[in-house]
Copies of this chain bind each other. A is one copy, B any other.
Amino acid sequence: MLPEKTIERLSKYRRYLLEKLEQQEEYLYSHELAAALHLTPEQVRRDIMLIGYTGTQRKGYSIKELIEVISKILDGDNKINAVIIGMGHLGKAISNYFSIKRSNIEIVAAFDIDSSKVDRIISGIKSYHVDNLDLIINETDAKIAILTLSPAGAQDITDQLVYAGIKGILNFTSVTLRVPEDVYIENYDMITSLEKVAYFVKENINNEGTL
């Protein structure tokens, strides 16, 4: 099992590599990738070593091959399906983002409780009423859920998702969810990110010149 941080970086590497591939580039060096993502070349090389790929000295890494190796790690043999719950502002932003930046995770269905947002296609994703949750998750064999619904319904929906066989949740609601041990949860809160930025901005301003 690879370190969490390496997994995060691999995802970023792949996104950058895909851009380069579109620009018809064939090879790249560890220091290019590092510079683009604000990392060190050593770290890039170490990550690539860990996934067992080797480039050619003096020439760098084959972009095409590296993408393939990373994809094998991140995607495994078969693709993985996801659903999204709550098609408000955030849900739409994410759906739309996924339809543009392709990833090997496919969002196969969206759900909402509001009948005006249901039974239509939004950013290429079919939207269903939450009453069909269990049915559609089983039909599509989705294993991941993205939660962008109102906080009030979050725990209740989570219980239903777990029952339906969801094994990973990306949670954008501010609710702290209770799930069985074998369900992996990743919480994300923009306020935390922003407060972190604020803290380091303040530290920087205070220490101006003293570093």
Contacts and interface: CB of A to CB of B under 8 A. Distances in A.
Contacts of A38: 176, 185
Interface string A64-106: 0000000001111000101000001110111011100101010
A12 B94 CA distance: 23
Given A8-B196, A37-B176, A176-B36, A203 B1 contact: yes
B144 A198 contact: yes
A194 B170 contact: yes
Contacts of A205: 143, 167
Contacts of A199: 2, 7, 73-74
A11 B103 contact: no
A168 B201 contact: yes
Output the residue of A12, A36, A93, A208 with the most chain B CB within 10 A.
Answer: A93
A63 interface: no
A176 B13 CA distance: 12
A184 B191 CA distance: 16
B94 A190 contact: yes
Interface string A164-204: 00011110001010000010111011111111111111111
* Number of copies of this protein chain within its complex: 2
B197 A144 contact: yes
B11 A192 contact: yes
A164 to B, nearest CB: 14
A184 B82 CA distance: 33
Contacts of A1: 203
A186 B191 contact: no
A101 B191 contact: yes
B204 A182 contact: yes
A167 B1 CA distance: 37
A139 interface: no
A90 to B, nearest CB: 4
A110 interface: no
Given A97-B191, A168-B197, A169-B197, 4 more contacts: A1-B203, A89-B90, A103-B194, A105-B191
